Every structure is written in structure tokens, then in C-alpha cells.
Chains A and B, each alone.
Chain A
Amino acid sequence: MNGYAVTILTQIAIQAIVVCGLNVIVGYAGQISLGHAAFFGIGAYSAALLSTQGGLSFWAALPLVLAICAACGLLLGLPSLRLKHDFLAITTIGINFVVQAVFLYVPFFGGALGISGIPRVQLFGAALKGTRYLYLCLACLALVVGVSWLFTRVFAGLACFALREDEPAAASMGISPVRFKLLAFMLGTMFAGLGGSLYAHQMRFVSADDFSFPLSVSFLAMLVLGGMGSLAGPLVGALILGALPEVFRPLANFRILFYALILLLMIRFQPGGIFGEASLVRRRLLPRFLGGRS
């Protein structure tokens, strides 16, 4: 594989990790979020600061990064307790802008210059780069998918599904909306934090522009395209929307048009996403591969 393909695939793997986090919040718990790039950014900045200023390795910093992201998820998830649907969407957009502004205007975060000189990840004394770093990202992605799968199989996950479907009914069955929404927010932002940390150590430079609102939209588009609430959805969405810009590079000027076309076609014909409920892939393709099991 050439270096270019490895870089693109690494980015796709990182984005898939972040979209898995968004899937927990939007797909499982039904809380719309248009500010997920903020948490991706919080993860990236935490990792960048801990490794450059704090002198910690990627591994030593990771638990701290996850804790910081979980705490921020908890704090910024609080608005979701009182807001629903469009109002929550707008509030999360606001969160995105506020977090980005903090990165940009607070000198501690490096201002417009961002943070540079982030070291590579070391493993067994060797710096991970190229294909090896891709493997690390894929391993993290596998971990995140595994945790997501586990989450859908335990009562905590089932409680989130119930909240997504009908909050009053869920509450009448002992499910505290506050507790489980915050749980979903925390888990989702931790995944975003992991992705952010990997991103910081891949680019070795972060700046506020990397975590802007359009990126949040693109995360959500990946999730919707792949299939909200499904396990493979975030992967497929990240792969398609991550690879498309490269595939359509000759059509650079029409790229956005193609995006729009794909999204419109999806919404019209496969509203559940590629891997969503009752999608073509699920009904026709999967049974063929799995021998009619699914």
C-alpha cells in the first residue's frame, strides 16, 4: 500500500471511531447531536497538551484524555436533559462553536497557531507510523466496535433504546432519562476522545479549525448514510464519505453536488441508512451471506 492510501485509511479509521461514538448518542439513545466535532477536538487537544506540555506518552495520557472527554460529555450533555429534537440540535451546534472558540481564543490552547510538535505514538520502543499506525487505529476501531456491541447487549443499552423510542414509557419502566442520556453522552464522547487522541498523534499538529461545525455535520452524515443504531453503519458511512473525496478528486468542483445527490437518494430510498432496519443490504444481501440467518 502506498503512503497516500495508508494516510487516507488511517483517517477513515479514526473518523469511524468518532462516528461510533456519535452512534451511541444519536443511534442508540436517540439524542441528536450536531456538535460531535467538539468532543473530537477536546480529545485531540487534551492528547496534544498532555504529550507536549505534560510530557506524557500516548498511552499514559489516554486514560486522562478519556476521563476529560467523559467529564466534558457529562457537563455538555446536561442541556440534552431539558431539550428535545430541533432545540437539542441547535444547542449542540452552539456547543461546537463555543468549544472551537475556546481553542482559538484562549492562549493556553495555542490560539490560532494551534499546538505543534506532538510526538508519534511509541510502542515497544519504536515510533508507530505509516502502516503500523494504521494498525493501531484499526485495533482501536475494533475495540470501539466491540464495546458498542457489548453495550447493545446489556440492560444499560436496552434502556437507551427504550428512551430513544418513547421517553415517558421508558420512565414508567424504571429507566431514569437523566441517568441514561448522560451515560450515552459519556460513552459517545469517550469514543470521540479516543479518535481525537489518535488524530492528534497522526497529524502531530492540531488547530481549532480542525474541529469546526462542518465536521460535525459530516460525522452525522456518515452515521445517517451508514445506518443509525446499527453496528456496521458508522464503519460503512465513514468509509464511503471518507473515500468519496478521493474517488471524486477529478470532479473536485462537483464533489458537494455528489454528496448532496447521494444523501438525497439515501433519504428517498433507504432512510434507515445502508445498514439500517429494513435496508436493502439487510433484507437482500446479508441473508445470502449469512445463510438466511439475519
Chain B
Amino acid sequence: MNDAAESRIGVFVCHCGHNIAGSVDVAKVAKTAESLPHVVYSTHEMFMCSDAGQQLIRQKIKELGLNRVVVASCSPRMHEPTFRRVVEEAGLNRYLFDQVNLREHVSWCHMREPEAATEKAIDLVRMSVARAERLESLPVKSVKVTPRTLVVGGGIAGLRAALDIAERGFEAVLVERAPKLGGHVAKWSHLFPADESGWQVIAPLIRGVGRHPLVTVLTDSHVVGFDGYVGNFEAKIENLKTKKVETFEIGAVIVATGFEPFKPFGYYSYGESKDIITLAELQELVPKPDFLRPSDGKPIKRMAFIGCVGSREPGNKGHEHCSRHCCSAVAKAASDLRSRVDEVVVLYQDIRTYGRGHEELARLARSKHVIYSKFPRDNKPLVHVTKTGRIKMSWYDILSGDDLGYEPDMLVLATAMVPPEDMADTAKMFSLTRSADGFFNPEHIKLAPLTTHTAGIMIAGAAQAAKNASESVIDASGAAAKAVGLMARGQVEIESTVSHVLPELCSSCHTCVTACPYGAISMDPSKDPPIALVTEAKCHGCGTCAAACPSSAIVMYHSTDQQILAMVEAYLCSPSVTVGGAT
């Protein structure tokens, strides 16, 4: 493929059934595109992503010698990989394809303005054609994958992931900051929905990783350095006791750093009495043979629970989400403890026992005469501790319409799952982003919930969102499958959209060296004076260096100044539009 040859652009406008064609005059868009510079073919079709649509693109590339392809359809975040593959199958470099977003950005958000939507669609196609003319083919590069996965976090998700990887014949390095494996689950006495304690559930996993020759277990350890790119990471792991740092070559990473149970200071007099505890604290208290009050060691007769503590609070950042495990965990704990105390009251906003076997737990609790009482969202129960240490509660019961009161011997607050304190450090270490709830962002919430935007780095368990132990295990096995898939292939393609320094323009000012967030640019000492040099494998393609360079010496491949400005110009200065500056 010779990029220097004159551009022969094909434009394919998609109806997406009625999705685009319902508000955009696709025939008019295709017709207008015909007259754009370098466009030799333009059409509109029902579904460009269908087999027939793909076949049409391949056929026209061969028949008409197209060397640039523009598809005007859905978001490139959806089908760019599809169409890149299609043009590649017809012998065209994947970077000679450009996609116009007529669905998410036009038809779906201007549904009642067909005229304006069509005009916008025509502009966007013209902009894309102008960009396409300036596209350059880039080499498709692949790198080897080190057959070893780093699993960060030795809770139930990390254990499952490490063991899955090892059972498929690959090495796993399991890092846990605490002295012991097992995380939160190991401490829990009531693990719903089964009738096993957390320890019973997790012990086989701990033994499993312990005796597997392919798992390296590093407890009392944490990751202090992380560098590299997919398939070729380097992790520095420090032992917290000996302070010894070991370096590992790593192909993939699974971050399973879990959650923290929210400490609800400021809620329901937490901290004012030893008998007001969180659900997590209750879990550690229960296994003892006598169920006694922490304050005075007397037997507990009356117990109360309050749900949604620090969860589901609109407007309170980091506490807006439902913590998902608490309703079922409260039902389990309440029905288990009901036989050990005289009375159990559960105050709730809503009951969401959504999982398999969870609804049965809520029913079991009620059948054991656990008293459930619903309070209003905007009128939470009041709790105060008297001078003598008694806990006094009062609330409005929605269902009976009565103001009620209660004096429990112990009050348990079912608190939110929140990200651990050092979440920001972990995010920074592995270049992960976080969503509004503070947990790690997946690559795609529906289609790619376990991979992240950093290739080769997976997330599993409660590090991704509040979830229960069984859900965390599902994640872990999924993330392990992703890691094993990568390692089994042995090779992985990497993006060629990296930056490049034009040596003759570089003025050795070092600006780009400081601008690069990845340390991918260094000064090449073999040149006199030393000039900037991009280590392509480390470059993630953000283009910050290109924007910062005062000498315009940096080219950001596939996002060059010319490619971007051509789009602006095509929008504002096209011959059909007479306002604006000179072309």
C-alpha cells in the first residue's frame, strides 16, 4: 500500500435499521459525499456491520481500488475494531479506515430535528473524508507475552484467580499485604447463602495456592514499582518486614485489592458505645461460644440492625451506590442469631435480596420472627446513648404509620463497602481510572467488565464495585481466563498510535520529557546535542508531548496536527459554507 498514491476514498453510510435512517436522511448524506474531494464511491446500506455490509466494503476496495474507507454508522467505540478488520481483510492497512458516529452523536440525540441532524451528519462525513485523505498506514506490531501473571490481593478473588491460572499451567505471583491470606472472607462467621463460615469456604483455596508449584505466594508484601506494557511488565515487590525488594517479569496483572467496610462515624451514634458495631465487626464477634455485650460482658437479649448505612445516599460522593451484600448478610446474621437472643429487629429502607438463595434467607429470617420495620429515606431512625450507656432508638414505621422506639442491648450497622484507603495509590501504580463510587473502572461496563483501559491489566472482585463473595469469585475466574488467554497466545498486538520525534526539528529543550506521564521519552545521548527519543513500547499515545513541544517536532501518529485541523477546516471552510475564514 503506497500512501503517496492519490487518495481513493469510499464512503459507506449505514441506516442501522431505523436507528440512523429514522432521523437522518442517509440517501442525502451519501449523495452529498459523492461530490467531496477524492471520494470515488459513496453508498448507503441497511446494516454496514452485517456480513453483507462487510462484504460490500471488501468488494468495493478490490473493484475500485479504494485506498481509504469511511464508514458513517455507530460509535467507533463500538465497531471500529470490526471495520478495521474488514479493510485489513481486503488488503488495506487498518489505520486507513475512519468512522463517523451518526448514531450516538447524531440520530439518537437529535431525534426530533431531522433537518439539523442531516446537516450535522453531512458535516461530520465531510470532516471524516478530509481526515481520511491525510491518514497514513502504520505498521501493525506485536510483542511477546511473558507467561506469568501478577495477582494483587490475597482475598477470595485473588486466591481464586491465582489458583485458576496455575491449574491451567501458567505461573502466578500472588501478593498480599497482610501476614495471612484470606482477606475479609476468612474473618466472617456468616457467609450467605450457604451455612458455612468464611474460613471453611476459603481454607481450601489457601491450601491450594500454598501447595501449587506454579504459585509464588508473597505475604507481608506490596508492589512498590510497576512499569512496562502489555505482555512485558516489570513489578518490584517489597517485603514489608525484611524491606527486601524483588523484581518480577510479568505478562499480565489481576488487581483484586477488594474493599473496606465503611466505619460509620457520624451515623447513629457509632463510636459512642461499645455496643454499637458494624456488621463486619459483628462477624468477628459471633464465633465465640457466649454471645456477650462488648461493654459489660452481659448476655445479649435484644438486638437491632440498621441497613443502608453509608450506602444509597444520593449526592454523597462515594456513598451513592448500593453495597449489594448487606441486605442478604443482615438476613443471614439475623436468622442465625435469632436462636441465641430473645428478639431481633431489622430497620431497613428497602430489602434487596436479589441473588440466588438470598430471598430464601430473608424469608427464613421472617419465619424465625425477626421483626422487619421500614423507615423513610428522608427520615432516618434516631439513635442516642444515655448517660448510663443504654442505646435508645426511635423511628417512624412506614407500614404501620407509627412512631416506634426500641432499646436494644446491641445495635449493628450494616455499613457500605467502600474502596480501601490506598485506592488512589493502587490506581496510580497500575494506571487505572476510578468511577464516581471510587472503585476501578472496567474497560466497558457490559461488554468488558474485567479488563481495563490499560491493556494486560484486569480487575476482579470488590475492587471493581461492591459485590459479595460469590460474585467476586466469578470475576476472579473470568479475569484469570483473560490472563491465561493472553499468555497462551504468547503474542499480543500493540497499538501503533504512538508519538515520534522528528530529529531535525528537536531543539533539545526537554519539555516533552517532563510532559510524558509514562517516562517514555528520554534524551538520546548518542546524538550531539542529545535529542528527544520516544520508547514506542512505553508510549500510550495520549499526545501530550506533541501538544507541549514548542518546536512542533513531535508527530502523534494517527492524530497528527494536519489530520485534526483538516477536520476543523472541512467543517468551517468548505465551499458550500460561505461564512468563516479563508480555505
Same complex origin of A and B = no
